[in-house]
Structure 1
Amino acid sequence: MVKGTTTSQTSPAIRAKQAVIMVVGIAVAGVMVVLGLWQMNVFESQRDNSTQARIDQPVITWDKAPTRSEVMTQYGRRVRITGTFEPSTATLVGTSWPVRAVEGVRLTSGETIAVVRGEISQGQEVPPAPTGTVTLTGVLAASESANEPHNPQMPASTLPSLRLEVLTQTWPQPLVPATLTLDEQGARAQGLSPAQPTLPQGDGGERNRGYALQWWVFAIFTIAMSIAFTRAAGKRQD
C-alpha cells in the first residue's frame, strides 16, 4: 500500500518533468529548423543578388566570338551579337510546356551560337525568325547538363535540355561554347514570351545547403534525444 501511495503522489511530478523535457526539446528543434531555413534563404538571396548584379553589368558587344576561355568568363553577362538566323537549326527544348524556341545564329565572323528566342505554349506555332542581318542582346550561359530525361508526352523532336554536345552533331560549325537567351524586349519583338536564362549557381551552393541540412539533422537528433530522456525519466520512476 505504501508503494502504491508513493507512485500516486509522484507520478504527476514525473509527467510534468517529461512534458518539460519534450517542450524544451521541441522548442530547441524548432529554433534549429528556423536556422536551417534562414541559412537557405541567405544563400538564395546572395545567389540571386550576385546573378542579377552580373546581368546588370554593361553589355558586351561581340565583333567576333571570343576564345573558349574568354567565353567562360562572360557567362551570366549580357552580350550583343550580330548575325543571321539559320532556319534549318530551329529546335524546341523542354520537358513540359511551355518550351523554349532555339535557333542558331551565324555570326558575321562565321561562328554559330544557339539563341533561345523565347518560349511557346502548347498548340502555339513558333513565329518565323527575322530574316537578314539582325542585332540581338541576351544573357550568355553555358551548355546545360544531361540530367533531364525526355518526356514521352512531348514531341519526339523536342530536346529535354539545351546541350551543345547534341547540337554540334547537326548544326553548322564552328559552334560557340555558349547559349544566348534573348531579353524580354528581344523575345517579345519576335512574338514569343521571354525565357528565363539557365545560369550556374556559383560557388558555395553545396556548402550552404550542407549547413542548412546540418541544422535540420541537429533538430531531428534533438527530438530523438528528448524522447529518449522522457522515457528514461519514466523508467527511473518505475
Structure 2
Amino acid sequence: MLRGLLSPKWVGLFAVVLVVVTACTVLGLWQLGVARDEGHKQAVASASQLQPAPLQQVTQAHSAFEAEFSNRPVTVTGTYDDGRTILVVDRRLGDRAGSWVVTPLLTDGGTVAVLRGFVEGLPSTPPAAPAGVVTVAGSLGPTESPRPGAALPAPQRRSVDLAALVNEWPGDLYNVIVLASGETDATSGATSGAGPAAAIATPGLTRVPPPDVDTPLNLRNAAYAVQWWVFGLFAVWMWWKMFRAEQQAEDVPAAQREEIHA
C-alpha cells in the first residue's frame, strides 16, 4: 500500500487534492469573514433603529444587567453629585492616553454612574460637572470588574466597579453605566454640542463612544463557509476511496494466482 501511495500517479492526485483543500479552506475563511461583517452590519442597523428611552423604562435600580442592554440608547434626568466624581485611570481614546471622568447622577429612581467623557493624562481635579437638573443622553454599558494594583489616591480608580461604589455613593444604584453622548439643561432644553444653542459644555472633555456592538454571525454566509470546508473533506475522501478501489482491484488477481499455484 505504501508503494502504491508513493507512485507518481497518486502523489500527483494528492497534490491536486491539496490544492483543492487549500482553496476550499481559504474560501471558507473568506465566507466566515463575510458572515462576521454581515452580522456586524445587521447588529449596527438594529441598534441604530432603537429610539432613546427613559432609563427607568429600560431597567430599575439593583436590577441585573441584561445582554440586550448593551449600547441601548437611553435618556436620564437628574442632578450630578460632582463631589463624588471619580477618575478612572489608564484609559485610551484612539492614540491618546488619559482617564475617564465618571460622575454619579442622582435621579428619582436611584443613582446612575455616568461616564461623562475622557481627559488626557491625569488631572489633579476632574472637570466640573454641569450644575442643576440635566438630562443625559447616551448608551448603556455594563459595570467593570475590579483591576488589581496598589491603592490609588482619591478620586482615582482603576475601574468602574459598581460593587464597590454602591457603598460610597448615596441612594439605590443602577447596575449600568451610561456613556454620555450629550447633556441637556432640563430647564432650558439646550443640548450640549448642538451648535450656538448649546448651554452645557465641558472644555477638555471628549465623549467616549460606546463599545462596538456584539457581532453574531450571519447564518447564511456561515453555512456557505461550512459548505466549502465540507467540499475540501469530500475531495480527500474521494482521493482515498479511489486509491483503495485500485488497491482492491490489484489484490484480487494476486489472490487467484495463489490459488492456482496451490
Asked if the contact 2:24/2:231 (under 8 Å) is kept, the reply is no
Asked if the contact 1:141/1:198 (under 8 Å) is kept, the reply is no
Q: Which of the pair has more CA radius of gyration?
A: 2
1:121–1:19 distance in 2 versus 1, CA, 3 Å: same
1:164-216 Cα shifts (integer Å, max 9, x gaps) = 22210111112233322211674892121111234874xx84x769x959957
* Partner of residue 170, structure 1: 168
1:198–1:47 distance in 2 versus 1, CA, 3 Å: same
1:171–1:198 distance in 2 versus 1, CA, 3 Å: farther
How much has 1:132 moved relative to structure 2? Answer: 2.8
Pairing 1:102–2:115 present:
no
* Partner of residue 202, structure 2: 190
* Partner of residue 48, structure 2: 52
Among 140, 147, 152, which residue is 1:150 paired with? 147
Give % identity: 17
How much has 1:122 moved relative to structure 2? Answer: 2.4
Pairing 1:28–2:24 present:
yes
SS in 1 for 2:175: strand
1:11–1:74 distance in 2 versus 1, CA, 3 Å: closer
How much has 1:114 moved relative to structure 2? Answer: 1.0
* Partner of residue 35, structure 2: 39
Pairing 1:135–2:147 present:
no
1:113-149 Cα shifts (integer Å, max 9, x gaps) = 1111101222455543235304132224253253xx6
CA distance in structure 2 between the aligned counterparts of 1:221 and 1:62, rounded to whole angstroms: 50
1:223–1:98 distance in 2 versus 1, CA, 3 Å: farther
Size of the alignment, in residue pairs?
Answer: 216
Gaps of at least 5 residues in structure 1 are 1-6
CA distance in structure 2 between the aligned counterparts of 1:224 and 1:121, rounded to whole angstroms: 56
Q: TM-score, normalised by structure 1?
A: 0.65
After TM superposition, list the pairs within 5 Å mapping 1:199-218 onto structure 2: 201=214, 205=216, 215=225
CA distance in structure 2 between the aligned counterparts of 1:21 and 1:74, rounded to whole angstroms: 48
Letter of the 1:48 counterpart? V
* Partner of residue 3, structure 1: none
1:222–1:90 distance in 2 versus 1, CA, 3 Å: same
